[in-house]
Structure 1
Amino acid sequence: MQGGVMDSLNYYYYANTNRLKFITDNVPASGYDGGPDHNIIDIDGQADNNYVYDDIGNLIADKAENITDIKWNVYGKIDEITRTATASVPATDIKYTYDASGNRISQVVTSGGTKHYTWYVRDAQGNMLSTYTADGNDPDLANLQLNQEEKFLYGSSRLGLITVKESVDGGPDNLQFYYDGRTFSLGRGRKQYELTNHLGNVLATISDKKFGVSSGGSSLISYYEPDIVTAQDYYPFGMISREALPNSGVAYKFGFNGKMNDNDVKGGYGLQQDYGMRIYDGRVGRFLSVDPLTHSYPWYTPYQFAGNSPMANIDLDGGEPKPSTDGTQEGQSQSTSQDFYNLRGDYTQTKQETWYWHAVGLRDAKGNLTKADWYSSEGYVNVLSTSLAAKSLGNELGLYNVAAKSLGGNSELNKQELEKFAGSGLNDAASTHFIAAARATANASNNFVSGKIEPSNFNVEDLLGVGALLKEGIALLGGKIASAAGTEARAALFSLNEGYGVFGKSGLRI
């Protein structure tokens, strides 16, 4: 195998902005052939003014990719992409729709004059459960043949998918199961399980088949080998560097950082990805629109990916860069940092962001479980404040006024959720954020019943970083436990891991 330079890129920007204008490549376009299957497409030299933006910084044209127009909605999501068809990318128009949470729920690709529909079915947390497709130009979608394409497999996170490809015609399922009293037939090979690294990058997928291998000429199976369906490597910012199985004919739906590939837009594998909050191009290492959280991170370019540290951080949804490995304890903290330099290359400062690990799945009023993940301080309070446990703690502390008492609720389920969370081993950070969450939930309910404010508009950021408030919450909690009658169990509930929680053998620590 012979190596060589594939890219030697120079980035040019519009004056006094962070907006990329065009890229030049010192390596000629003929210097890289796109891999054995021609699906690895790098960036080649571009003409001046290749990238065009609207007034607020959203990309609206990419001339090198034959994208003539991108329409954005007021929520920072792409509604429609218009492009000129090519032999490798035949799509001329791509439209998207979203649910109230901003998750993509449909896609319509017009290619060769025919519309190709895809619908995404999601759960309450936005996880993709299944996809359905239909093709045709009839404006009455009821006349099109609907097919279920995929179903997704989950444990605590996504494990893979099952390729279904079954017609949904309203009739009985056309599933055949044979059993003769001794044996039954079972079709394998439709499942794909993800093998990922610490960044969530999908490095390979394997099926539910296995191949027996004998050794020494024996007719007996010595061991089994997996059925590897796809395999690929990535450059640091996400472009695919190598396909280990280029002729498999299978392109997996997810790739770098575990995000969904939008292969219809630019051709090739993973050249554009949906991160939820924004759209990403891994060849350039930039998002297509301004970071909605840019006001909180003024030291970053608003188009950067993962704090420009893709080996250490992931970009969960196009927002802040987060730690790349899971935590081990509720409330565990970890910092991400980034060094910054001026235009002369002189070091100027290091910026840090502190994250908190939420591990315990808590139920909300609808029965949904909170997601295990790293959260900012504000985000940690937000996710805890949705839980029944926070409502129960608010009742324990007497934080609900008379009118709001019914909203707080003090059911047995709420108490069980509180006991589950408090018994999981909370450190100081988890305890103080939990108290802040209980107060946020109670205050929102109290204000709502008084007509002052809608619960959904309550801003918990005012509760963060206020030491007096957190101490007051801990003191209230301590007083409530001390005065609880016949409550050895209740007191034990808040006797968290010694040395790590708010309470130890010596009692309340503030």
Structure 2
Amino acid sequence: MKTYNHGLNNTTEEFKDSKGNVVLKRTYNNGEAHDTYYVYNKLNLLAFVIPPMANGTVLGDHLEKWCYQYNYDAKKRLVEKKIPQKDWEYIVYDKSDRVVMTGPVYNPFGDGSKGWLITKYDVFGRGIYIGYYAAGTFTSATRNTLSQNNFTIESKMASNTTIDGITTRYTNAGFPTNFKLLSINYYDDYNYPNAPTGFSNIETQVVNTAVKGQITGTWTRILTTAASTAGNLSYNLYDNKDRVIRTYSQNHLGGYTQVDNQINFTGTTAKTVTYQKQNNSATVLTVTDIYSYDRRDRLTKQTRQIGTGSIETIVSNTYDQLGVLITKNVGGATGNLQKVDYKYNIRGWLTDINNAEMDYVDGENDLFQFKINYNRYALQNVNLFNGNISSVWVRTKVDNLFKGYVYWYDHLNRLTQAKNMYYHRPGGWLMGQYMDDSYGEAVTYDKNGNILTMNRTGELLDAQQALTIDNLTYVYNGNQLLSVTDSSSPTINDGFKDGNKVGDDFIYDTFGNITQDKNKGVTAISYNHLNLPYQVTFANGSNIKYAYDAGGTRLSKKVQPNGGALVTTDYVNGFQYTDNVLKFFPHPEGYVEFKNNQYLYTYQYKDHLGNVRLTYRDGYRNHATLENLKDGIIQVSEIIEKSDYYPFGLKQKGNDLPDYSVINKYKYAYGGKELNDELGLDLYDFGARNYDAAIGRWLNVDPKAEEMRRISPYAYSFNNPIFFLDPDGMKPLDWYIDWNSGRVLGQDGAKTNNFRVIKGTMWAKITNSGGSMSKEATAELHKESNIITVNNNKIHSDLNTINDDTINDQTAERQAIFMLERTEDSEGFPAAELTTTIGQLGKNGSADIPNVTGFNNDQMIVGQAHTHNLDQTGRTNLPGTSDADYDVSKSRNFNIYAIDSYQGKQQGGNAIHMTNSNTENGINVGTTNDTSVIGNQVLDDFINSNKQ
């Protein structure tokens, strides 16, 4: 019997109107259409997005439950937006189209009141203050009035002043003047309160004290109480090439972390020395890392020395002729503890961690083997050719069993079922395979990707029957989960714990955050301005309190059981303390545990998603006996932990290393994220949100929900957690441009906010097996790419040339074209530089841009700047960009800059304005005296405008 597969499955249809706007995207699952509609207003601006669950209608409460809504002002600026089941969000601009107020948001100090986040700018349009303004909801008329105000540009002063009880060096003249100061940025020099002085060489490198266009210092408030003015000062020191050679950051305990970098001539880091001081009375801990590279600047070795202790090799790498990592030698003071081998298929997708086709062979001591299958048939599933993973095999020396998962997907690439598989190896070779029902997971979804049912099985019982641990049914209001009912045996305590039998399990606030979870006995969760949990209160009187800085970095966690002892965890730039005692700090292949006054190097095997699968340490003993001696050879007894996970992240019980949980308190596991399991909370902290692996959902709305409007803002990893890793989503990441086509490819997991160029074929080879966000993928992408450099000197020179020439001859516009010039580095890797070239002289009040897209003769146009000369017949000069500038920027999808040259030579420089598809009326971005921000702005906006 053959089953007909509907011909439209696995396809996407797009429908456009006469203006080229996409009005409908349609996908299919089992032949059923999943429609997302896009509705535009009279100004041709997006007004509504109607996701699949709304079924193309906005009747009744569909708008509130399902739809995204947008309103604009007369300047076509987005001023109001509504995410489904969240309050309206409002945006206030100044006359230069800069965002100056957004809200409402929670009070940063967790008291539940609401107000506004404000931003103030300097003369170059750089954000200098972020603050919290405790005002009620402004009416539309009030917000319009505010947008007409002249929000004063703040300036740097020669002496200190005070704002909100905090010493600073900036004025506070613009509205509002009465607010809670959250952060301050300083630029260009080191003239600010408590700035570093007396600069000496850092690792033999001279410090550049006149840094233009760079952030030199930041003050960030510690969010405890509104009355407290405590904050952390951090600063960067640069060399004469504007490369960071020192970072310094105070911590909330009164200490600091200082990292000194020695940078070689190619720009790679040869050495870092980290100085960690917990508090004022603590002894400084020094950690020295040495890095070696091959002639293509690929990392070949990293060593670490803690204090004056012995030098440990963290990792040494070997690459093939294509530059792909094939071997890592991990750990050890004299020889490596583990040799890790990697294999790839012809497409460059990762297939093996160690040789998963063979048994352990003489001379090999592999503790962990892992195999990823794509189009390889496994029992009852099918060969997959779209990049989805069909099955995985795993084996460890803990039990020497070769087992894994077989996966099934629907036509929208959502995981629907995972079954456990065992492999038979007569004579040591893989010969057969069979499935049982243990550790299985099966899932169904609605059209928006909300989970409707989830069934899980546990370990195999004596009768060869798997224990059913979860038989879950989900009930929703819109995308918000109201309750989960478990119809499995009430005596089973694994998996989801159905602690509430009456009414709704979950309560939400107006920002879409869960405030009560009755299954876990959570009666209240309060949040700060970033929707991060401030306090979790339990029905039995226990509580957990979190402290952050104003940027959202977690500083501490205080767990207070009812009637028990308070336990405090402090997070200090990767160094973690419990009740003031150092516990551990990370290294690239694991972590260092501080125990019995010793620093113990601990190493980890991770899978393709960064999940910790096996942890080991030379000299460790996982039995209640004397510890082993360090001998450079890892025995089975030196394995600290073995972990296996269900697809959505729940840890398998009965399938891990016995009694480990009693011994080790290192809780970074699934996705490398911390499990907050205190008091039965059992949530993974991903940075921007918290994830509940028992139900496969987030507790909060995705901060970037608008980028994925066809799927529920609470869904995890597009419901394909075998392929995708969900990062924190809040930090700026590196973006990539295809060296061949100029197309924007995507981003990696590095939080360094760089723009890189790579060959598209290599991008595909690296990212097709698990995406681009994992640590391993990010490292490979960095090796095959180069950071796009910005020739700020050439940009400054050309912009001033066209300005000066126009001032001297007001008969025509002049232009400078922003070009991305591609080249190769000395090792043949793709490279690129953003620069400018003087374009053709303008005619009839305009300067025509060459109509060329993509790379042409190794150059690609990514922006333009032109001058506005004196009045032409029938025309009047006005500051800023013109309607024609906006139209060109929208059609070409890049920034257009206009220089007010008609005003003649100005002492502070002639004003420069910018327009693009998001800023029709143009914003002021500085003057011709300082153009240092423009190059990076061109790249940033080009990336954002051309994302796929």
TM bucket normalised to smaller: 0.5 to 0.7
The structure 2 residue matched to 1:153, chosen from 579, 582, 587, is: 587
In structure 2, do the counterparts of structure 1 residues 202 and 400 end up closer, same or farther at CA, with 3 Å as the change threshold?
farther
Deviation at 1:228, TM superposition (A): 0.7
In structure 2, do the counterparts of structure 1 residues 442 and 163 end up closer, same or farther at CA, with 3 Å as the change threshold?
farther
The structure with the larger Rg is 2
1:312 aligned counterpart, secondary structure: coil
Which residue in the other structure is 1:42 paired with? 496
Which residue in the other structure is 2:568 paired with? 117
Give the conservation status (yes or no) of the 8 Å contact 2:532–2:688.
Answer: yes
Deviations 1:140-164 (A, max 9, x none): xxxxxx322212212xxxx222221
Amino acid at match of 1:12: V
Deviation at 1:42, TM superposition (A): 2.8
Deviation at 1:200, TM superposition (A): 0.8
Give the conservation status (yes or no) of the 8 Å contact 2:796–2:931.
Answer: no
Which residue in the other structure is 2:709 paired with? 298
Give the conservation status (yes or no) of the 8 Å contact 2:524–2:538.
Answer: yes
Q: Distance in 1 between matches of 2:615 and 2:728?
A: 23
2:488 aligned counterpart, secondary structure: coil
Which residue in the other structure is 2:666 paired with? 252
Amino acid at match of 1:450: T
Amino acid at match of 1:241: Q
Deviation at 1:236, TM superposition (A): 0.6
The structure 2 residue matched to 1:204, chosen from 614, 617, 623, is: 614
Does structure 1 residue 77 correspond to structure 2 residue 468?
Answer: no
Deviation at 1:290, TM superposition (A): 0.5
Deviation at 1:108, TM superposition (A): 1.5
Q: Distance in 2 between matches of 1:4 and 1:332?
A: 53
Amino acid at match of 1:395: N
Give the conservation status (yes or no) of the 8 Å contact 2:523–2:538.
Answer: yes
2:678 aligned counterpart, secondary structure: helix
In structure 2, do the counterparts of structure 1 residues 109 and 454 end up closer, same or farther at CA, with 3 Å as the change threshold?
farther
1:203 aligned counterpart, secondary structure: strand
Deviation at 1:432, TM superposition (A): 10
Amino acid at match of 2:658: P
Q: Distance in 1 between matches of 2:557 and 2:509?
A: 23
Does structure 1 residue 9 correspond to structure 2 residue 465?
Answer: no
Give the conservation status (yes or no) of the 8 Å contact 1:72–1:78.
Answer: yes
Which stretches in structure 2 are left out of the alignment for 5+ residues? 1-459, 622-630, 756-766, 802-822, 833-853, 866-893, 899-910, 913-923
Which stretches in structure 1 are left out of the alignment for 5+ residues? 35-40, 86-90, 123-128, 135-145, 167-174, 176-186, 212-220, 334-352, 365-371, 404-417, 468-510
The structure 2 residue matched to 1:275, chosen from 655, 661, 686, is: 686
Deviation at 1:251, TM superposition (A): 4.0
In structure 2, do the counterparts of structure 1 residues 360 and 259 end up closer, same or farther at CA, with 3 Å as the change threshold?
closer
Q: Distance in 2 between matches of 1:438 and 1:246?
A: 64
1:233 aligned counterpart, secondary structure: coil
Deviation at 1:133, TM superposition (A): 2.8
Give the conservation status (yes or no) of the 8 Å contact 1:118–1:132.
Answer: yes
In structure 2, do the counterparts of structure 1 residues 12 and 453 end up closer, same or farther at CA, with 3 Å as the change threshold?
farther
- Normalized per residue, which structure has more strand? 2
Amino acid at match of 1:130: F
Which residue in the other structure is 2:901 paired with? none
In structure 2, do the counterparts of structure 1 residues 455 and 245 end up closer, same or farther at CA, with 3 Å as the change threshold?
same
1:195 aligned counterpart, secondary structure: strand
Give the conservation status (yes or no) of the 8 Å contact 1:394–1:438.
Answer: no
Q: Distance in 2 between matches of 1:358 and 1:92?
A: 36
Amino acid at match of 2:927: S
2:728 aligned counterpart, secondary structure: coil
Give the conservation status (yes or no) of the 8 Å contact 1:289–1:303.
Answer: yes
The structure 1 residue matched to 2:594, chosen from 164, 179, 187, is: 164
Which residue in the other structure is 1:425 paired with? 830
Alignment of 1:380-399 (within 5 A): 392-396=790-794
1:102 aligned counterpart, secondary structure: coil
The structure 2 residue matched to 1:191, chosen from 579, 594, 601, is: 601
Deviation at 1:374, TM superposition (A): 3.7
Which residue in the other structure is 2:575 paired with? 130
Give the conservation status (yes or no) of the 8 Å contact 1:58–1:290.
Answer: yes
Which residue in the other structure is 1:463 paired with? 942
Which residue in the other structure is 2:647 paired with? 236
The structure 1 residue matched to 2:481, chosen from 16, 20, 23, is: 20
Which residue in the other structure is 1:60 paired with? 515
Q: Distance in 2 between matches of 1:260 and 1:308?
A: 21
Deviation at 1:203, TM superposition (A): 1.1
In structure 2, do the counterparts of structure 1 residues 290 and 133 end up closer, same or farther at CA, with 3 Å as the change threshold?
same
Deviation at 1:402, TM superposition (A): 4.5
Give the conservation status (yes or no) of the 8 Å contact 2:554–2:571.
Answer: yes
1:234 aligned counterpart, secondary structure: coil
Q: % of aligned pairs identical?
A: 26
Amino acid at match of 1:116: V
Q: Distance in 1 between matches of 2:533 and 2:684?
A: 12
Which residue in the other structure is 1:487 paired with? none
1:257 aligned counterpart, secondary structure: helix
Deviation at 1:463, TM superposition (A): 2.4
2:519 aligned counterpart, secondary structure: helix
- TM-score scaled by structure 2? 0.32
2:469 aligned counterpart, secondary structure: coil
Q: Distance in 1 between matches of 2:553 and 2:859?
A: 28
In structure 2, do the counterparts of structure 1 residues 198 and 5 end up closer, same or farther at CA, with 3 Å as the change threshold?
same
Instruction: State the superposition RMSD in angstroms.
Output: 4.9
Does structure 1 residue 101 correspond to structure 2 residue 551?
Answer: yes
Give the conservation status (yes or no) of the 8 Å contact 1:331–1:358.
Answer: no
Deviation at 1:223, TM superposition (A): 7.3
In structure 2, do the counterparts of structure 1 residues 54 and 459 end up closer, same or farther at CA, with 3 Å as the change threshold?
farther
Amino acid at match of 1:43: K
In structure 2, do the counterparts of structure 1 residues 465 and 272 end up closer, same or farther at CA, with 3 Å as the change threshold?
closer
Deviation at 1:255, TM superposition (A): 1.1
